[in-house]
Amino acid sequence: MTDQSATVPEGLQGVTADMSSDRQSFPVPWGKAMMWIFLLSDTFIFSCFLVGYMNVRMSTLETWPNPSHVFALHVGGVDVPLLLIAIMTFVLITSSGTMALAVNYGYRRNRKVTAALMFATAFLGVMFVSMQAFEWTKLIVDEGVRPWSNPMGAPQFGSVFFMVTGFHGLHVSCGVIYLSVVAIRVLNGFYERKGTYETVEVAGLYWHFVDLVWVFIFAFFYLW
């Protein structure tokens, strides 16, 4: 039974075989398949936000506030464009890297390193959300941005900003809780008893997706 990998069809024939045979279509742990399907649905939610953003930005008569200026930070006497957003991007990418390593060490059954890397990932997530809270405070208190108006231009800017970054921040916050729970279970040997560390990979999928969404938000909302 174990030495039959040579008979597994690949490519399109493999698709036909996987889909038509009388068993589960995706030979992966069900948690992983379910996470992928959840992420697919989440893709549509975020896409709806971004497409809605495109629509209101195209249809407004007023000028769209220049994100490069709105999100500039005053450092050392000069305005550096998008500085905070750039730092947030690097923090999130760093967290994605530590998560990828955590998954790898999970499969090596190295509990301590896996948990440490996952806590590092969660910590970077907290850092990201904190910087976002700082950014929101700056925009609301100092710049007077509201969901219905702002002094820089098109009023839709505020609603899109709070909606998109807020929903993404919510995802990061949930991810921090999710990762912490899984990391604690890694430490206390829950997955050792279960005999598999695939839950770490499933949690990793979620976290990488949060990073993935940020790539699109960064490109379309902050850079465009």
Partner 1 sequence: MDHNTTKPAAASDHGAAHGEGVQHPLNVYLWIWLLLFVVSGFSYMVDYFQLHGMLRWTLIIVFMLVKAGFIIAIFMHMAWERLALKLAILVPPLALLVLIGMMAIEGEHTFLTRLTSFVR
What is the footprint of partner 1 within residues 103-132 (CB under 8 A)?
103-108
User: By CB under 8 A, is residue 26 in contact with partner 1?
Assistant: yes
Q: Which of residues 38-77 bind partner 1 (CB under 8 A)?
A: 39-40, 43-44, 47-48, 51-52, 54-61, 68
Q: Least Å distance between CB 195 and partner 1?
A: 9
Least distance from partner 1 to the Cβ atom of residue 207, Å: 9
| Candidate residues 84, 86, 113, 126; the one interacting with partner 1 per rule CB under 8 A | 86
Contact between 155 and partner 1 by CB under 8 A: the answer reads no
Residues 164-203 vs partner 1: string with x where CB under 8 A?
A: --------------------------------xxx--x--
> Which one of residues 12, 76, 142, 151 is an interface residue with partner 1 (CB under 8 A)?
12
The residue (of 42 and 143) whose beta carbon lies closer to partner 1 is: 42
Contact call for residue 78 and partner 1 (CB under 8 A): no
* 31: contact with partner 1 by CB under 8 A: no
The CA distance from 217 to 97, in Å, is: 19
Among 100, 140, 163, 187, binds partner 1 (CB under 8 A): 100
Residues 6+ apart with CB under 8 A from 188: none
Which region, judged by CB under 8 A, interacts with partner 1, from 23-31, 119-127, 136-144, 173-181? 23-31
| Closer to partner 1 by Cβ: residue 51 or 133 | 51
Three-state secondary structure along the chain? CCCCHHHCCCHHHHHHHHHHCCCCCCCCCHHHHHHHHHHHHHHHHHHHHHHHHHHHHHHCCCCCCCHHHHCCEEECCEEECCHHHHHHHHHHHHHHHHHHHHHHHHHCCCHHHHHHHHHHHHHHHHHHHHHHHHHHHHHHHHCCCCCCCCCCCCCHHHHHHHHHHHHHHHHHHHHHHHHHHHHHHHHCCHHHHHCCCHHHHHHHHHHHHHHHHHHHHHHHHHHC
Position 209 contacts partner 1 (CB under 8 A): yes
Helix axis angle for 83-107 and 111-137, nearest 10°, is 160
Query: Which part of the chain contacts partner 1 (CB under 8 A), choosing from 15-23, 156-164, 169-177, 183-191?
Result: 15-23
